Amino acid sequence: MPLVDPLCGSGTLLIEAACIALGRQPGLQRRFALERWPDFDASLWTREVEAAAALEQDQLADGRPLAPIVGNETDPAVLAQARANAAAAGVAPWLELQAGDCRDLQPPPGPGLLVCNPPYGERIGEREELEQLYADLGAMVKERCGGWDLWLLSGNPELTGALRMKASRRIPISNGGIDCRWLHYAIR
């Protein structure tokens, strides 16, 4: 099913999803500190890296192509970073990263999955602007995303309230030391 991040930022959630779907293992091109350990077995390491690389595919395991993976970002510099990140991860051809405001998002035909990590006022955004952003995001989702599911990473319950939606599930996590919740909303 389609996956859309209406506030994709640097593309992390979409890139990770594409990597998982395509069997692309993280860090295959990087060097690790363990490679300098005295008992490091370079031949074993090479075999394991090659085995992990062999899992990569250009379609789903059952041979079907990936459904659309769409990211939306308003800031051109951040969108450029998302595109660079997708290219570095080797998944750029499978992502549709577009300039635009979440309020104007037209999702692919559903059902689908929305996922986002909107700013929650810790590092990015002013309270009043963010409250309006959450309210507008909630309105857009209810208007255009019937039959979809939304998973939203929230670090500010007051802002989340501006969505005017009731979460069916809450999963507590820490995101960069900030107490957060993954919130699930079934859009009907």
The domain that holds 8 is classified in CATH as 3.40.50.150
Determine the Cα–Cα distance for residues 98 and 58; give it in Å rounded to an integer.
22
Contact 71, 12 (CB under 8 A): no
Determine the Cα–Cα distance for residues 94 and 43; give it in Å rounded to an integer.
33
Task: Indicate the number of domains in the chain.
Answer: 2
What's the confidence (pLDDT) of residue 122? 53
- Do 12 and 99 fall within a single domain? yes
Instruction: Please compute the mean of the pLDDT values over residues 64-92 and round it to a whole number.
Output: 95
Q: Show the domain range for 176.
A: 3-22+58-186
Give the other-Cβ count within 10 Å of 46's Cβ. 10
Determine the Cα–Cα distance for residues 48 and 134; give it in Å rounded to an integer.
44
Question: What's the angle, vertex CA 106, arms to CA 102 and CA 108, rounded to 5?
Answer: 125
- Do 170 and 128 fall within a single domain? yes
What's the confidence (pLDDT) of residue 8? 97
Three-state SS at 138: helix
The model's pTM is 0.86
Token reading at 149: 């599911």
Q: What is the pLDDT of residues 121-177, one digit of tens each?
A: 654 556 678 999 999 999 999 999 999 999 999 999 889 999 999 999 999 999 888
- Do 80 and 162 fall within a single domain? yes
- Do 29 and 118 fall within a single domain? no
- Do 160 and 94 fall within a single domain? yes
Contact 20, 64 (CB under 8 A): no
- Do 67 and 120 fall within a single domain? yes
- Do 51 and 41 fall within a single domain? yes
Above 70 in pLDDT, residue 5?
Answer: yes
Bridge-based pairing state of the strands 113-116 and 3-5: parallel
Above 90 in pLDDT, residue 69?
Answer: yes
Best CA proximity match to 163, nearest among 126, 135, 127 = 135
Give the other-Cβ count within 10 Å of 81's Cβ. 15
What's the confidence (pLDDT) of residue 127? 66
- Do 99 and 165 fall within a single domain? yes
- Do 107 and 37 fall within a single domain? no
